[in-house]
Structure 1
Amino acid sequence: MKQLLLASIAAFAITSAKAADYAVVHAGRLLAVPGGAVTQDQTIVIKDGIVTRVADGFLSATDIGANADDAVAIHDLKNMFVMPGLIDGHVHILSENNPRARLDRVEMSEADLAIAGAGFAKKTLMAGFTTVRDVGAGSSDAIFALRDGIARGDVAGPRLLASGATISVTGGHGDGTQGYTDEIAVLLHSKGVCDGVGECRKAVREQVRRGADHIKLTATAGVLSNTAAGLEQQFFDDELKAIMDSAHAMGRKVTAHAHGVNGINAALRAGVDSIEHGTYLDAESIRLFKRNNAYLVPTILAGVTVAEWAADPESFLLPPQRAKAAEVGPKMIDMARRAHEGGVKIAFGTDTGVSKHGENAREFALLVEAGLTPMEAIRTATVAGADNLGKSDVLGTIAPGKYGDLVAVEGDPLADITELEDIDFVMKEGIVYKSE
C-alpha cells in the first residue's frame, strides 16, 4: 500500500514527471478564470489529472478526503501567481525557420521530423504552453505520430491538436514545391493540394481520415512561400465553400491563413471559424467576424520576426519572401489594434516555427502594444484560446472537471505582462514538468 504523503513538497524541488493520485497546489495568488478576480490563498485539488476542487485556504492532505493508500503531492506555490496553462493556437511544431529550411525538406525523413518536433514540443511546454494547435505540416505522418506520442506520455510536450496537411491550391501558399525541380516537386507534393470543388472536398476528407483534429486552409497567398504571387485570394469562392462544408459535416473546425482582404472576407463569408494573420482586414472584415462569431489569431510575433529578417541584408530570405516580409510585417500590430477596437474576438497564436520555439510568450507584450490590457492578453491564451479550439469544457480555466494544467510566476503578469516570458512552474494534468 502507498503511504499518504503528508509532507509539503517545495515547488522548486520537484523534478519528477510521474503523477501522484492527488496533486494539491497551494496558490498564494490565483487567477482561476482570466477576466475575473485574482483570489488569495487558494488550494487547487487535482485527482488523476483533473481538477476536482478549488477551495479557500491551504488544505492539507487529510482535508481533501484522500484515502490512506493514495499518494498525495502538495506543491507549495504560496509566493507565486498561478493561472491556467497557456494555449497557443498557431504553431508549426515540426520545424523552425533557418538558412537550411529548403534543404531540410528534401534531407529530413518523417522520423527526423518527428524527433525534431519532440525537441520543439518540450521547449514549448517548458515555456508554459500546455496546449497548442499545429496548423499545417508538410508531413502528416510525423505530426500525428508526435501528437499521439505526447498523448500516451512517451514524449514530454503540450497537448497537441493537429491539422495534418494544409489545404492549398496548386502553386499556392501551402503547396511548398515552388523553386524545386519537377522531379523533386513530385516527391514533395502534398495531399492537401487541391483544385476545384471535388478535389477540395476529397482533400478535406483525406485529412480527416488520417486523423486531423481540425482543417487548415490557405485562403490567400503567403509571405514565406517562394513565389511572387501577391498576398490575395487564391481559392475561388465555390472551393472555399466546399472546404468549409466538408469539414463541418465531419465535425471539424476550419481555420484559414489569410492576409489579403478579399481572401479574408471570402473565407468569412464561406463560414470559416477563424482567420490566421488577417493583415489587411477592413471594416467589412470586422463586420463579418462579428456576424459569424469567428476568431482572429493575429500572430503579431510572426510579423515582427519576418520584418526583422527583411531588414537584414544577410538574412536567408529569398527575393520574393523578402519583398512580402517587408510589406506585411510592420502592419500586424496596427491590424490587431483595429480588430480589438472593432470588437473582434481574438485568440492567441504566434506562428512559432517562423519565430523560435519556446519564445511564444513574446506575443503577449505585442498584444498589449496593440491595445489589449494584460488581462485581455492573458484571456486570449486561456479562455478565448480554449473556445477557439472548441475545448472550453476541459481547457482555459482552473475549475472542477477541467484538465489540471497550470503555470506560475513569481511576479505579477497583470502589472508586467513580460513576466510570462519566464514561466517558473509548469503543470500539465497534475504532473510537474518545470519548477525553478
Structure 2
Amino acid sequence: MGASKIIITGGKLIDVEAGDIIEDSVIIIEDSRVTAAGSSNDIELPTGADIIKVDASGRTTLPGLIDAHTHLQLVPAENEHETLIKSVPLKAIQAASNAQKTLEAGFTTIRDLGAEHLVDLAVRDAINDGFIIGPSVLASGYKIAPTGADFRIYPPEVKISGQYTMDSASEIRRATRELVALGVDQIKIMTSGRTFRKTSSPDTKVYSLKEVKTAVEIAHDNGLKISAHAHGAAGVKLALEAGCDTIEHGTILDKADIEFMLENNIYLVPTFSYSSNLKRLKGDSGIPDYSINKALSSRGKRLKSFQAAYQAGVKIAMGSDSGMPFVPHGTNAIEIIEMVKAGMSNLDAIRSATIIAAGALGIEDRTGSIRPGKDADLIIVDGDPIKNIEVLSEINNIEMIIKSGEPVIKRGEYTCG
C-alpha cells in the first residue's frame, strides 16, 4: 500500500494478553509498529493525506499467528529416497516456497526446528533481505542428535552428507558452538528417540545428563533458548533436569514433570497434527505399519499429557510440525483446531498460537499481541474464531495479512481510502 499510516476500524479485536474481545476497534499502524489499539471510543483517529483506511466491519482482527515447530525443507508427500536424491539448491527453493505458503495461511512468525545443510538459515536471511516472501523465521540449523536416534543408519559404503550426529559432550560442545557462530536463533537437541524410525524408540533417552547440559549451557551463555525433542518419560525428565526451555511433543508427562514446568516456566509444544492425520489415513498412508502404530500409540498418551498440563496451567505453544507426513505447509492452523478438539478453549488456542508462542520463542516483547510499540504483525479474518475456531483453517478466510506494518496478502473486498 505504501502509506506511512494504516488505520483499521470497525472490526472485532482479540486482545490475547487481556483475554478480551473489543467489539468496535481501532488499530493504528505507523511504519512497522502499532501505535494505538483499542476501542473506537478511546482512540482519536489521525488525519492526513498519507493514511490508508481499512474497514474491517464484520471481521475479526488478531495477532499474526506463530508456529513454534516447523520444518520448511521437508515435503510431506516425499519418501526418504526422494528426499536424499534431491539437490540442496532444490531443497532450498522448496523451503522458500513452503515459507510463502505458511505466510499466506496467516503465520507471520515461525520457528524452524531442524534443517539439513542450513537451509533454514538461508531462507530466513533471504526473507529478511527481501529476496523472497515469507514469515519471520527463527532458525536452528541442524539438530543436536546422537547416532541412531534420528537418521537412518546406512551400510558403511553409503555416504550421506548434511546429517550430523554428536556422540560425546565434546562433540556436542563443538557443534553447539558452531551453530552459535553460524548465527542460529536457537538450539534444538534430541533427548528421546523418534516414532517414525524402526530402530529408534520414543521411550528411550538418547543422551546423558552431562551431554544435554553441555548444549544447554552454551545456548544459554549465548542468550539462546534450547528446545528438546522429548517423547517418553525418560527423555522428558532428562530435558527438564538439564534446563531445556521447551518440550517438543511431551508424550508422557507425569505430575512431577508438570509441576517442574510450572515452577521453571518451561513451555510444552504438543504437535498433534501429524498423528491426527495418520489416524484418519491408517491403512492408506504409504507409511510402514510399525511407524503408524508407534505414532498412534504416542498420540493417545500425548493427549492425556496435554490435558493434564493444560488443566494445571502449563504454558502451551502451538507447533504444527509442518513438513512431517500429512502436515502440508500452509495447513499449519489445523494444529490449533486439534488443540481445541483435545480440550482447549478457542481463546486459549488462539493465545497458544500468538502471545504464548511468542513467549516460548522469547520474542513476546516485539510480537504475539496487538499492542502499541510492538511490530505490526496481524491478520484480519472473515468470521469470528472465538465462536468458530475452524475459520482459521480455511485460507480464504484470512483476508488480510500484515507483517511488520506491510500488507503482504490481501483477499476479499475492503473499503479502503
TM-score calculated relative to the size of structure 1: 0.88
* CA drift at 1:269: 0.8
Q: Partner of 1:399: helix, strand, or coil?
A: coil
- For 2:9, the equivalent position in structure 1 comes to 26
In structure 2, the partner of 1:84 is 63
The reply on whether 1:245 has 2:203 as its aligned counterpart is: no
Give the 3-state SS of the residue equivalent to 2:58 in structure 1: strand
Letter aligned with residue 403 of structure 2 = K
TM-superposed CA distance for 1:152, in Å, is: 1.9
1:403 aligns with 2:368: no
Whole-Å Cα distance in 1 between the matches of residues 267 and 168 of structure 2? 27
Cα pair 1:216 1:256 within 8 Å, conserved: yes
Secondary structure, in 3 states, of the residue corresponding to 2:300?
A: helix
Conservation of the 8 A alpha-carbon contact between 2:148 and 2:200: no
Give the aligned residue type for 2:406: I
- Distance in 1 between residues matched to 2:410 and 2:332, nearest whole Å: 17
Deviation readout 1:248-268 (Å, 9 max, x if unpaired): 111110000110111101110
- Is 2:276 the partner of 1:304? yes
Instruction: For 2:42 and 2:296, locate their aligned partners in 1 and report how far apart those are by CA, in whole Å.
Output: 55
SS in 1 for 2:133: coil
SS for the counterpart of 2:20 is coil
Query: Which residue type is aligned with residue 149 of structure 1?
Result: A
Aligned match of 1:362 = 334
1:184 match: 158
Query: How has the CA–CA distance of structure 1 residues 238 and 24 changed in structure 2, closer, same or farther, with 3 Å as cutoff?
Result: same
| Matches of 1:188 and 1:323, distance apart in 2 | 29
Contact 1:136-1:165 at 8 Å conserved across structures:
yes
The corresponding residue for 1:14 is none
Report Cα offsets for 1:34-92 as digits up to 9, x if no partner: 542211322211122111122543999x94255x5xx3322221221111111110011
The offset of 1:372, in angstroms, is 1.5
> Does the 8 A contact of 2:274 with 2:321 survive in 1?
yes
State the partner residue of 1:57: 40
- Structure 1 residue aligned with 2:300: 330
8 Å Cα contact 1:240-1:270 kept in structure 2: yes
Counterpart of 2:156, as a letter, is: D
The 1:333/1:281 distance shift into structure 2, 3 A limit, reads same
| Preserved CA contact (<8 Å) 2:203 2:233 | no
Shift of 1:319: 5.0
1:127 aligns with 2:83: no
TM-score by length of 2: 0.92
* 2:359 equivalent to 1:380: no
- The corresponding residue for 1:435 is 411
**Cα distance in 2 for residues equivalent to 1:228 and 1:177:** 9
Match of residue 285 from structure 2: 315
SS at match of 2:53: strand
Report the AA paired with residue 138 of structure 1. E
Look up the match of 1:214: 186
| Worse-superposed segment, 255-264 or 406-415 | 406-415
Residue deviations 1:95-122, cap 9 Å, x none? 1222x33123322222111110111111
Post-superposition Cα deviations, 1:139-176, rounded to whole Å, max 9, x if no partner, equal 21x21111011112221111110100011011212xx2
* Aligned equivalents of 1:268, 1:339: Cα separation in 2: 14
Q: How does 1:267-306 map to 2 (within 5 A)?
A: 267-306=239-278
Residue 200 of structure 1 and its aligned partner are, at CA, apart by: 1.0
Q: Distance in 2 between matches of 1:389 and 1:225?
A: 28
Q: Does 1:147 align with 2:124?
A: yes
Residues 331-346 of structure 1 aligned to structure 2 (within 5 Å):
331-346=301-316
**Residues 151 and 27 of structure 1: is their aligned pair in 2 closer, same or farther, counting only changes over 3 Å?**
farther
With over 3 angstroms needed to count, the CA separation of the structure-2 counterparts of 1:59 and 1:126, relative to structure 1, is farther
SS at match of 1:345: coil
Name the counterpart of 2:176.
Answer: 204
Q: 1:102 aligns with which of 62, 75, 80?
A: 80
Q: Which runs of 5+ in 2 are unaligned?
A: 413-417
> CA distance change for structure 1 residues 25 and 420 in 2, over 3 Å: closer, same or farther?
same
Aligned to 1:165: 142
Checking the alignment, whether the CA contact within 8 Å between 2:192 and 2:201 is kept in structure 1 is: no
**Structure 1 contact 35–376 (Cα < 8 Å) conserved:** no
Would the aligned equivalents of 1:223 and 1:231 in 2 still touch at CA under 8 Å? no
Change (3 A) 1:150 1:27: farther
8 Å Cα contact 1:302-1:329 kept in structure 2? no
Task: Give the conservation status (yes or no) of the 8 Å contact 1:307–1:329.
Answer: no
Q: For residue 295 of structure 1, report the CA deviation from its aligned partner.
A: 0.2
CA gap of 1:93–1:380, structure 2 versus 1, over 3 A, is: same
SS at match of 1:407: strand
Which residue number in structure 2 is paired with residue 426 of structure 1? 401
Kept in 2, the 8 Å contact 1:34–1:375? The answer is no
Kept in 2: contact 1:172–1:234 (CA 8 A):
yes
- Cα distance per residue 1:229-254 (max 9 Å; x no partner): 45321011110111111111111100
- Cα distance in 1 for residues equivalent to 2:236 and 2:134: 32
Looking at structure 1, the residues matched to 297 and 16 of structure 2 have their Cα atoms a distance apart, in angstroms, of 38
SS class of match (1:204): helix
CA distance in 2, matches of 1:139, 1:320: 29
Q: Distance in 1 between matches of 2:295 and 2:162?
A: 24
User: CA separation in 1, counterparts of 2:94 and 2:229?
Assistant: 24
Structure 1 residues 368 and 319 mapped into 2: Cα distance closer, same or farther (>3 Å)?
A: closer
Q: Is the 8 A contact 1:394 1:402 kept in 2?
A: yes
